[in-house]
Amino acid sequence: MELNEALNRVKEAKNMTEDDVLAAFATFVKENYPEIWVQSGSSINGLEEEDYDFFSSAFEVNTVRRKSGGKGEQWVGMLVAYDGKRDMMQRQRDVAIESATINLSQVLRYGIQQNNRTIAIGRVTKADGEWSVFDADDTLLYKETAEDGKQPMWVIHTQGPSICLLKDDGRTPKRAFMEKRKWIFIGNTQDKFLSEGALPPMVLECSFGAASAELQLLRPISFKAELTTAWKPADSTEPDEEMLSALDIDADYGLDWVDDEVLPKVTELFSPDQYIAQFMPCVDLSDVFDHHMSNRKVLASGRDYGPTFAISGTVDYIDHAGKENLYTEGGFKHSITLTSNSLRRDDPKASLWIDVSRYLVENQHAFKVKKADGWKDYASGSRIWVVVRSRTWEGTDGGLNLNLDGLGVYAMPLRSIIAQTPPEDANDISYTDGF
């Protein structure tokens, strides 16, 4: 079944696949119009045309136009970069697994050491429809009913028996997986954006349920989040930085919050290249190294990291295959190089090398451009914007080398060259007749 206009709007607004939209629409009809659902043979394919149009309109109203879930104020703007995913419990989990593998009895009795504190460990079993936790003496500490197909977030599997981390009471298991995702957001609250414009870029930190949300870069977005202050060490002399925090998030895409009389101007503003150029720090390719050195922060280890900023240039090279990398989200690290006339003024072969994660390539269209007929691979010679974070590393000659981590990529539709796709029979040699 093809999507009508209402269902297509839902698809775009909620960033859903066509199959997901149809499945959600079917559930909506079944739950809200049960009699007609039965009459249609329990399938949306059996709906009469008039009912199909009416129900899809009702579905859109209830799905798209409702306020976003979560706590806090309503924020509008654009996510310009993705700053990665991190499991806050991974270190504790890894230490517990390693210790249990070496000597389970000892770790059950004495726990593990983490940041100058002792964390107790329990042994976990599942039997007779229950998850149970035992101590070193096989004393029952905790139990809960097992749900079909669900594993508690506190269960840790090892090569031997399963274990869990225990809270300070020494009896109750604590969450062993706690992912956080960070995005870079530019916008403002809904009631202030049109009058005051966008605030400087800030981090949107998504935790718990919000951490699993697949948000989309470089599209007008609306969501609820709480304004808070980013964590910093107690002895830090750095000024406080504001950030947005969301434990649950239900984002909407589009400009439904904009009045019709100003919609054309706001739509133009939300063109990604215009939005980045107006609200992001933008650096010429020839000035990137100097910009890094002037704004970098040096860690106690001697390593440094630079600011987050935007650059624009001509694509010189694209590594579509990528190289396997366990530390890069998606398991692969890709590369792209940018050049410009200013960069090549002194060196005609000069270009800047940018690392791009497999996640950005597969989930955020990093190597594609959106044309009227859909997403297409772009080729060398295309003009793109990239939001990057800079860092340096010391070469064997003692000199500093620049590295750029790509956090968001936007190809300009009118200035991109579509990559040529070879025909399906390009490798067909049957015409040689076995020659």
pLDDT band at residue 237 using 50, 70 and 90 as cut-offs: low
Domain check: are 48 and 101 in the same one? no
Q: How does pLDDT run across 390-425, given as a tens digit for each residue?
A: 998 887 787 888 999 999 999 999 999 999 875 554
What confidence tens digit (pLDDT) does each residue in 147-177 have?
A: 888 899 999 999 999 999 999 899 999 999 9
pTM: 0.77
Which of 220, 237, 272 is a domain's end point? 272
Domain of residue 218 covers 73-85+182-272
With b meaning 16 or more CB within 10 Å and e meaning fewer, what string describes 84-107?
Answer: eeeeebeebbebbbebbeeebeeb
pLDDT given at position 236: 62
In a domain, 378, yes or no: yes
Residue 62 has pLDDT above 80, yes or no: no
Q: What is the pLDDT of residue 430?
A: 46
The pLDDT assigned to 31 comes to 85
Contact indicator for 200, 169 with CB cutoff of 8 Å: no
Handedness of CA 327, 328, 329, 332 (dihedral sign): negative
Does residue 239 fall inside a structural domain?
yes
User: Do 286 and 396 share a domain, yes or no?
Assistant: yes
Which pLDDT belongs to residue 154? 95
Q: Are residues 214 and 80 in the same domain?
A: yes
| Same domain, residue pair 35 and 146 | no
In this structure, the strands spanning 242-246 and 202-207 are parallel
Return left, alpha or beta for 308; rule: phi > 0 is left, psi -120 to 50 is alpha, else beta: beta
Sequential DSSP letters for 111-169: -EEETTEEE-EEEEEEETTEEEEE-TT--EEEEEEPPTT---TT-B--SSSEEEEB-TT
Residue 216's pLDDT is what? 96
Shared-domain flag, residues 123 and 258: no
The pLDDT of 172-188, averaged and rounded, is 94
What domain count does the chain have? 4
Q: Which of 53-57, 256-260, 339-343 has the lowest mean pLDDT?
A: 53-57
Query: What's the mean per-residue pLDDT of the chain?
Result: 89
How far, in Å, CA of 283 to CA of 382, rounded? 19
77 lies in the same domain as 195: yes
**pLDDT tier, 34 (very low <50, low <70, confident <90, very high otherwise):** confident
Check which CATH number belongs to the domain holding 337 and give it.
Answer: 2.40.50.140
Same domain assignment for residues 77 and 212: yes
Mean of pLDDT values over 240-248: 89
The mean per-residue pLDDT over the stretch 361-387 comes to: 95
Q: 7, 108, 92: which is closest to 57 by C-alpha?
A: 7
